[in-house]
Chains A and B, each alone.
Chain A
Amino acid sequence: MDSQEKSYIEIDPARCKGCACCVVACPKDCIQIGSEINQMGYQFARFAVRQCIGCGLCFYTCPEFGAITVYTLPRKGE
């Protein structure tokens, strides 16, 4: 991941069921449902657009456990 980005997320294909709740939740339209299929037979979500602000709304909306992890740069001074 480009370290210029302030924040980004990772989606674990093995945990995602492609429900698209994160897609709707993201205020920056960062997430899309991809065309690949995972082992469970679901088309999983992908972090596609790098405008993430690290708000965590996708993380809190997601019904799966650990499908989404949110990364961010520490604030200045931290």
Chain B
Amino acid sequence: MQSMKHSIKHQKAGSLYATFERKGPGAKSSHYCPGCGHGTVHNLIAEAIDDLGIQDRVVFCSPVGCSVFAYYYLDVGNIQCAHGRAPAVASAIRRTHEEAIVISYQGDGDLAGIGLSQILHAANRGENITVLFINNAIYGMTGGQMAPTTILAQKTITTPAGRTAANEGFPLHMAELINTLQAPVFIERVSLGTAAKVMRARAAIRKALRYQTKKKGFSFVEILSPCPVNWKMTPVEARRWLENSLEPVFPPGNLRDLPNAAPAALGAPGAPGATGVSGATGAPRVPGVSGAPGEPATPGAAEPVISQKAATKSERDILEILGANSEPLPTGTVSLAEEQNVKIAGFGGQGVLSTGILLANCAIAEGLRTTWLPSYGAEMRGGTANASVNISHEAIGAPIVSQPNVLLALNLPSLDAFEETVRPGGHILVNSSLVPRQVRRGDLHAWYIPATDMANALGTVQIASVIMVTVYALISGAITIDTLRRVIPLSIKRKSLVDINLRAIDAGVAWHRQECCQDFGRPRLPHVSVAGGTAPGATSEEPPVASSQDPSA
């Protein structure tokens, strides 16, 4: 509690909404992954808007990328622009709304990839706008592909052996590129690597916006920002890598600052560049860039390699890949009472998608047919994600599961979203650690597993979904625990995590034994609600579908 004498020194900026509806009514957290740089930059922008008193003048042009939903956070005018086109949209607003403070907020794929033309021309025209360029050296939203700013030797999912100059070219140095143009008045690169550097980023953003309010002209701030998820690091490790690996390639610092630039007037011949300062003269203010091919800009980067391994596939190989000429699958020991249409849903980062793959791989190991289909929002981690898994003896027509007979709800929004879609007689497995309510439907089986608490007790919350899948395996009999144990080491990249995942399976088995199996393997009723008939519209004639397998058999 705030004592009477203390006063607030730093608090959430007034230019941010109180709550964020994208995450559900009243939600207070962003959709960004833990430790993502976007939130830090949004905070800096919002504070600057507050302090400059420009909230009702700002038009924020958000890009395509993880920050596509910036308009859920910043309580200013917002336009969500087509991919890469934010500087063009911003230019149009600039020219039609004299009092507007126009911010074009863009990521590296958006600005340096598809939108390279737009940014260069807007900068070259010297539009009186502020461009904030979030450079995290990777495509975030789409899952970690190489970006124009990916550094040499950096591994991405499209450069699994690391980017090479010979194959993919060199990383684009956007601040330096813009510094070759005459018109811009302010160009700076900053980093979010440490708290002290965040404060420098804060100063640069404020200066750029202040110049715009004084109609000085085009300002550009490149912000080196962590993407822990796609860099496959913890948020703290990511900041260290940013400092040690990104900053040497993209050195932070001011490239141009013309505080005395005359207010930009459309078509005025004496626009800032005419002062002849810096980049326009071709002075070598381009640290860290070496233009010569075969001379990597990163010290110690791997030598350029062009992969010669583009093996041509025979027609038969291709048919095999597509499964068109596959032999009948070996029949396993498992016999399904009915096709399993499983929906696994939770926050991104709860292992929803990978658990789906695990389940599907187990089904394959059982000799069953299966499909896996991921579905997630624009966010890699903070949002909701779900996976559809079908398991059947027959060929499966469509991979999508719109009416599951099994729902694994790892969080409350997932239960809210999918409870109504479950077929009568189906099963809902609820992660009761994070879901504070009961299943409302009375015409199906509900299981309440404190999976996150159990996982936390084992040492990491990440394995909650494995516990849930273990319980599902026991309830449904669709896959055996033995198979689960054999498949899990194959599906985990970090071998150090195999052990804890195996312990998650043990925990799931123990929970199931204790909670459900005391009565010769039959579910004990107190933990299972069957055909309570309380749900509106529930057909009470529907016979309750008991779990037909003997789980402990």
Contact = CB atoms under 8 A, between A and B. Distances in A.
Interface of A: 1-3, 7-8, 10, 12, 14-15, 17-21, 23-25, 35, 37, 39-43, 54, 56-66, 68-74
A60 B40 contact: yes
A57 B37 CA distance: 15
B30 interface: yes
Interface stretch (B7-15, B132-140, B328-336, B525-533): B7-15
Contacts of B29: 14-15, 17, 40, 64-65
Given A19-B35, A66-B16, A66-B28, A71 B434 contact: no
A7 B9 contact: yes
B306 interface: no
Given A37-B452, A41-B452, A69-B12, A63 B32 contact: yes
B3 A3 contact: yes
A63 B40 contact: yes
A2 B534 CA distance: 51
Given A20-B235, A72-B6, A63 B30 contact: yes
Contacts of A71: 2-3, 6-9
Among A7, A64, A65, A72, the most chain B Cβ lie within 10 Å of the Cβ of: A65
B9 A40 contact: no
A45 to B, nearest CB: 11
18 contacts: A3-B4, A3-B5, A8-B6, A14-B28, A18-B34, A19-B228, A25-B194, A41-B350, A41-B411, A41-B452, A63-B36, A64-B39, A65-B30, A65-B42, A65-B46, A70-B8, A71-B2, A73-B6
Contacts of B198: 57, 60-61
B28 A15 contact: yes
Contact of A21 (B35, B412, B434): B35
Interface in B221-251: 228, 234-236, 239
Nearest to A25: B195
B211 interface: no
Taking residues whose C-beta sits less than 8 angstroms from the other chain, chain B's interface range is 35 or more
A69 B8 CA distance: 7
Given A72-B7, A72-B9, A74-B7, 8 more contacts: A14-B28, A15-B28, A17-B35, A19-B235, A57-B198, A63-B39, A65-B46, A74-B5
Contacts of A10: 2
Contacts of B20: 65
B34 A17 contact: yes
Given A60-B40, A71-B7, A71-B9, A41 B1 contact: no
Interface of B: 1-12, 16, 20, 28-30, 32, 34-40, 42-44, 46, 73, 194-196, 198-199, 202, 228, 234-236, 239, 347, 350, 382, 410-412, 433-434, 436, 452-453, 456, 461, 464
Nearest to B434: A41
Contact of B10 (A14, A40, A59): A59
A31 B73 CA distance: 26
A65 B228 CA distance: 18
B43 A60 contact: yes
A14 B228 CA distance: 21
**Complex A-B, nearest 9 residue pairs according to Cβ-Cβ distance, in ascending order:** A66-B12, A63-B39, A19-B35, A17-B34, A19-B235, A25-B195, A57-B195, A3-B3, A70-B10
B6 A24 contact: no
A37 B453 contact: yes
A58 B9 CA distance: 12
B266 to A, nearest CB: 37
With most chain B CB atoms within 10 A of its CB, the pick from A1, A2, A40, A74 is A40
A20 B236 contact: yes
Given A65-B43, A66-B16, A1 B461 contact: no
A54 B199 CA distance: 15
Contacts of A15: 28-29
Contacts of A17: 29, 34-35, 382
B10 A1 contact: no
Most buried by A among B4, B43, B412: B43
Which of B2, B9, B16, B234 has the largest count of A CB atoms less than 10 A from its CB?
B9
Contacts of B42: 65
Given A37-B456, A41-B461, A56 B9 contact: yes
A41 B35 contact: no
User: Which of B3, B412, B433 is the most central at the interface, judged by chain A CB atoms within 10 Å of its CB?
Assistant: B3
B9 A12 contact: no
A46 B32 CA distance: 21
